[in-house]
Chains A and B, each alone.
Chain A
Amino acid sequence: IAGITQAPTSQILAAGRRMTLRCTQDMRHNAMYWYRQDLGLGLRLIHYSNTAGTTGKGEVPDGYSVSRANTDDFPLTLASAVPSQTSVYFCASSDQGARTDTQYFGPGTRLTVL
């Protein structure tokens, strides 16, 4: 069982370019999440999806968009990258998105915007 896979592992991107980070889970979880991790700030939620076909904004959504066409995939798109989006991005999933559910994390994508 792979759990959650993310691609690419790392990327260097010129400012202004469009970029999609991919996330796939094989646990048939209903809920999925995107976080960014920055030194000294912990992890902050960008967008979430409680079930296929629905998405919502988290704490820091500006400059990012997501879609959830099916249960397994939850891509994150940066329409026009800026240097402040340099970060490590983690995708996560949980069974039902309930308060007691554990969130399972992917290995992360390290993104550098120059």
Chain B
Amino acid sequence: GDSVTQMEGPVTLSEEAFLTINCTYTATGYPSLFWYVQYPGEGLQLLLKATKADDKGSNKGFEATYRKETTSFHLEKGSVQVSDSAVYFCALSDGGTGNQFYFGTGTSLTVIP
């Protein structure tokens, strides 16, 4: 079945450091891929998405490229800020029964000044 595997955390970085959070997926067909962010005590918010191979999603300095050949959708940001501290979830949608989203287990990021 469909699944998402993402880099385990927690991750701690200094402000202005480069961020990569790895995400790989297994899916039949052609899924859409998403990154969601969850701040403490809140629900999930869409960070970015890509709906077909080679698409690049970007938002707030974050970006991720849909790589079909490596089944990956790694999240990157060139210079993190303290306000980026949150839990990040990679997810896929295959449009199957119920259009279920399959989520990774989440990666906790803490950025220190």
Contact = CB atoms under 8 A, between A and B. Distances in A.
B103 interface: yes
B51 A100 contact: yes
A105 interface: yes
Interface residues of B, number: 26
A58 B98 contact: yes
A16 to B, nearest CB: 29
Contacts of B34: 102
Given A42-B106, A43-B89, A99-B95, A106 B100 contact: no
Contacts of A100: 32, 51, 93
Interface residues of A, number: 30
A33 B93 CA distance: 13
B45 interface: yes
A45 B94 contact: no
B104 to A, nearest CB: 6
B98 A97 contact: yes
B43 interface: yes
B82 interface: no
The 10 closest A-B pairs by CB, nearest first: A99-B95, A42-B103, A48-B98, A105-B43, A105-B44, A43-B103, A97-B99, A100-B51, A42-B105, A107-B43
Interface of A: 4, 31, 33, 35, 40-45, 48, 50, 56, 58-59, 90, 92, 94, 97-108
